[in-house]
Structure 1
Amino acid sequence: MELNINPKFVWVKGAFLLFFGLFPFFIYFLGDPLIYLKYSIKSHDMIKATYFKYFTVGLLLWVLIQILRKRIRISSNRINWIIMAAILFLGLAVTSTVFSVDPKMSVNGYTHRNEGLLAFIGYIGVFLFAAFMLVEEKHQRLMLLICTWSSVIVSVYGILQHFRVDFYQNYGIKDNLERAYAFFSNPNFFSTYLILHIILAMALYLTDKRTYSLWSYSIIICLQVTALIYTYTRSGLLALGFSIVLLSLWIYARQRSLWLRWGILVCLIIAIITALTIVDGTQKGLFMRATGTMNELKHISEGEGGKAGSSRAYIWKKSLDIIPQYLWLGSGPDTFALVFPDIPSEKQQYLYDENIIVDKAHNELLQLLVTLGLPAVLAYIALVSGVLIRSWRELRRRTGSQAVMSVCLMVVICAYLVQAMFNISVVTVAPYFWMLLGLCYARTRTS
């Protein structure tokens, strides 16, 4: 199965690029008045989720119109296993919704999360659009440019926020929080956004030979890394370190000519992390997070492993206990809060609040396993691994900047998966992952 799409549609490509450039700025002061009045807590995430649904509906209507006009044709002359995996994943999400413990919730998603069936439809739609519409190198590079320059404003705002300069405060966040969250209502979400965009900026830094561009991208990456540090998110720093190691190994093995340029950038990043850690001192910041990690290792050694990872270990253990009950179809998209064991004494012990609602597994695969079931997880793994494997195989056909761009897109996908082992998928950031996954696949179709 393959899609044959008219290569024109310039305006819709432009709208797609513009949407991802503006997406971080869809916060409450830009929101629809009806949306603004609906939520007493003016969450940036709710507004973004609502606009993403609008975008999804518009995209689907456009595709339907083009199919009826025969400008998009579905051919079955050969089997495309990656597209089949994407469609199968979406089909299983639909099936899980039908048999959900709460079908209505599964369609729209849990309150304040909004990652129900409509979000999954949007994710697959974004993946397919990027894969089949952004096939030209100039469009792919333009997407990276738009996202990177857009992230500059977001990063600067996050840095200012750390110093208590917050012009459009999200009232769902504590006033005294020093961890930057920018326009994402949670430092962890902001961290994930930054990791993706740091690697995109690295791709531009490594492929642009103009001197002023090198300086520009160096400054951008420094701002992004500074904002990342101020989120004080360990999974984000882990993903950054993982990405630097992967890129270093590949550049040393295949692109030795970039080694000096890359080495300078890595030294800059290390210098920023070191300097900000020293400035923060021992009572806060990265040093405090490192101390927290040591305490968690102590809990594990004392047989209290449930408190590890900010008590994520407890959530993972309880999640594993309920998997057999929902193994094949899951409990339904975004219904984790309804099926997670509600034991007040345990929540008080591990989460320090017996009334807290655990609505995510804090591990993306575990979340999908509980809510969508094992077949959907296997389809998801087949889709992502299929894109990565095909990209790696096609890499030998590329040289120079094209090879660097392909590798960076592969690394950004891997980085997202690394942080997803400890974080949750949210509608404010996940669309970027699915768009980049589509771009990565698009490059294999044009190599």
Structure 2
Amino acid sequence: MQEIKKRLSGFFEMITSERFFFYYIISVMIALPVMEIFDEKHSQAFASQPIIVEIAGYVGIFAIIVHFLKHQNIKYYLTDLLYLLLFVFALLSAVFTLNKQETWHGFNYDEWLFNFVGYFSLMFAGTMIHDKQMRKGILNVFILVTVIQSVVAALQTCGIYMIECYYDTDLILELKRSYGLTQHSNWYGGLSVLMFACTSGIFLFTQSKLIRNITYAISILCFYTLLSCEARLAWVGVAAYLIFLAVSLTIMKFKGLEKEKLLSILKRLLLLIVGMALVTAFVIIVCGKITGKLELTNSEISSASGEKNNVQGLGSGRVYIWKFGLKMVPEHWAFGIGLDNYKDAFLKSPDFHEGMFSNAKGHNEYIHYLVTQGVFQLITYLTLLVYAAVTGIRNVIHNDDKEERFINWIVLGMFFGYAAQALFNSSIVNVVPYFWITIGMCLSKKNQHYFGYAKEHKKAVKA
């Protein structure tokens, strides 16, 4: 019996260790694109990716429960509380859903309860990674994922398809849009913002000449596929990322960043922008892309501001989708209409009639959370995002370890780029896990203050 207890104790210690959470994160990151290749080989598009994240949910919540039961004298952090609240409100949304069949048995690109638990657990795992080499290792895996996705996406722009497009197939294939291993160009647009911010960020801040050259080439390839997916939301994400870089570099100049390092970053940023400009010209002139989306944008704005006053047509009908969703909030404000069950916002609306357009996603992650999971969940999610941003910024400005500062800086750029494009995109099970990992990386517990820190610090100062 003592031997069994000893082995169990050792096992529990192992699955709650920093190393376990590290391998847990990178396993999910790599499995998502790689398993899709095998799925497609057997004509099963988008089959394993939701299941991988669901398994991550079961594994993650088990490890986290064991962590708190085994280590009862540990310090607690705001992220621990937010993890619990995220789970509770997601569960309540699933329990009080208006459509139990869709919420509990939906498929296609629906998100199941334990998909969300997988997201939350990946975030929690990211907060547990303190070791600098492991944090760098996660960024290296981001580079690997970028290479895999970008190569597949680049081949698609040449008419070479390894995987099947999930929907809008004829249109996407005809225009040779890139969608990587995510099955749709909009989904790839969101992921490509994260990948581009990561690889270009490493290019800007790395000390290694070899890594600098490699990541520059990868980031330019990624940017080419980002433009080739022709998702305007990706442009929003890149614009937010570049604004973040400009603002953060300005702040760091006044905060005393070494002049030589600042000059080096600015030179690299200029080189990056030149590369982006050349790729943009190539995509427009040679590939004949982007101009159609620009004309569509101009047409939508003209229609919205002209005599037709068609505001609902903005963003390829996104305003129309948001309007139907927001109508459901007053009556179902607490826990929403049902976990990832946005389509009921149309089907249960008195303004909706047969033959009208409906959509299963909110095309705005924040509105989607509000409509499907309610006000409490949205507040919890936004609190997490604000806390991640504040913590990340603080640890870029005040971190004494230069390498750790640059890791935080890279991750923060990824965070702001994705958060901006999420205003127009949907949470998708094979894309959003990467963002939740990014949030966790911003909130490493060594960068947070635990509950009671202020009190203890005050006592220590007095002593």
| Candidates 102, 125, 134, aligned match of 2:99 | 102
Which sections of structure 2, spanning at least 5 residues, go unmatched? Answer: 1-11, 450-463
Is 1:86–1:383's contact at 8 Å kept on the other side of the alignment?
Answer: no
CA distance in 1, matches of 2:31, 2:74: 36
- Which 10-residue stretch deviates more, 338-347 or 296-305? 338-347
Q: CA deviation at 1:90?
A: 1.8
Is 2:395–2:405's contact at 8 Å kept on the other side of the alignment?
Answer: no
Q: CA deviation at 1:57?
A: 1.9
Is 1:232–1:289's contact at 8 Å kept on the other side of the alignment?
Answer: yes
Q: CA deviation at 1:58?
A: 2.7
Instruction: Go from structure 1 to structure 2 and tell me whether the alpha carbon gap of 1:347 and 1:138 turns closer, same or farther (over 3 Å shift).
Output: farther
CA distance in 1, matches of 2:17, 2:334: 42
Q: Does 1:301 align with 2:298?
A: no
1:154-201 C-alpha deviation (Å, 9 max, x unpaired): 101111112210133346433435211111111011111111011111
CA distance in 2, matches of 1:214, 1:435: 24
CA distance in 1, matches of 2:217, 2:347: 47
**Which residue of structure 2 aligns with residue 429 of structure 1?**
431
Is 1:240–1:415's contact at 8 Å kept on the other side of the alignment?
Answer: yes
Q: CA deviation at 1:374?
A: 0.8
**Which residue of structure 2 aligns with residue 292 of structure 1?**
296
CA distance in 1, matches of 2:75, 2:30: 36
Q: CA deviation at 1:369?
A: 0.9
| Amino acid in structure 2 at the alignment position of 1:10 | R
| Amino acid in structure 1 at the alignment position of 2:131 | E
After TM superposition, the structure 1 = structure 2 runs for residues 117-128 of structure 1, keeping only pairs within 5 Å, are: 117-128=113-124
Q: Does 1:18 align with 2:22?
A: no
Is 2:49–2:429's contact at 8 Å kept on the other side of the alignment?
Answer: yes
**Which residue of structure 1 aligns with residue 109 of structure 2?**
113
Q: CA deviation at 1:395?
A: 2.9
* Local SS of the residue matching 2:360: coil
Q: CA deviation at 1:222?
A: 0.6
After TM superposition, the structure 1 = structure 2 runs for residues 244-283 of structure 1, keeping only pairs within 5 Å, are: 244-254=242-252, 255=257, 256-257=262-263, 258-281=265-288
**Which residue of structure 1 aligns with residue 382 of structure 2?**
381
**Which residue of structure 2 aligns with residue 137 of structure 1?**
132
Instruction: Go from structure 1 to structure 2 and tell me whether the alpha carbon gap of 1:144 and 1:311 turns closer, same or farther (over 3 Å shift).
Output: same
| Candidates 38, 50, 59, aligned match of 1:29 | 38
Which sections of structure 1, spanning at least 5 residues, go unmatched? Answer: 37-41, 349-353
Q: CA deviation at 1:74?
A: 4.2
Instruction: Go from structure 1 to structure 2 and tell me whether the alpha carbon gap of 1:318 and 1:414 turns closer, same or farther (over 3 Å shift).
Output: same
CA distance in 1, matches of 2:392, 2:142: 22
Q: CA deviation at 1:65?
A: 5.2
Q: CA deviation at 1:56?
A: 2.2
Sequence identity percentage: 19
**Which residue of structure 2 aligns with residue 334 of structure 1?**
340
Is 2:337–2:345's contact at 8 Å kept on the other side of the alignment?
Answer: yes
| Candidates 74, 80, 83, aligned match of 2:80 | 83
1:77-123 C-alpha deviation (Å, 9 max, x unpaired): 66x33332232122111112111112353245x33123132111111
CA distance in 2, matches of 1:356, 1:291: 23
| Amino acid in structure 1 at the alignment position of 2:85 | L
CA distance in 2, matches of 1:342, 1:106: 15
**Which residue of structure 1 aligns with residue 7 of structure 2?**
none
Is 1:22–1:150's contact at 8 Å kept on the other side of the alignment?
Answer: no
| Amino acid in structure 2 at the alignment position of 1:183 | L
| Structure number with larger C-alpha Rg | 2
**Which residue of structure 1 aligns with residue 419 of structure 2?**
417
What is the aligned residue count? 422
Is 2:194–2:414's contact at 8 Å kept on the other side of the alignment?
Answer: yes
Instruction: Go from structure 1 to structure 2 and tell me whether the alpha carbon gap of 1:29 and 1:52 turns closer, same or farther (over 3 Å shift).
Output: same
**Which residue of structure 1 aligns with residue 456 of structure 2?**
none
CA distance in 2, matches of 1:155, 1:347: 41
| Amino acid in structure 2 at the alignment position of 1:113 | Y
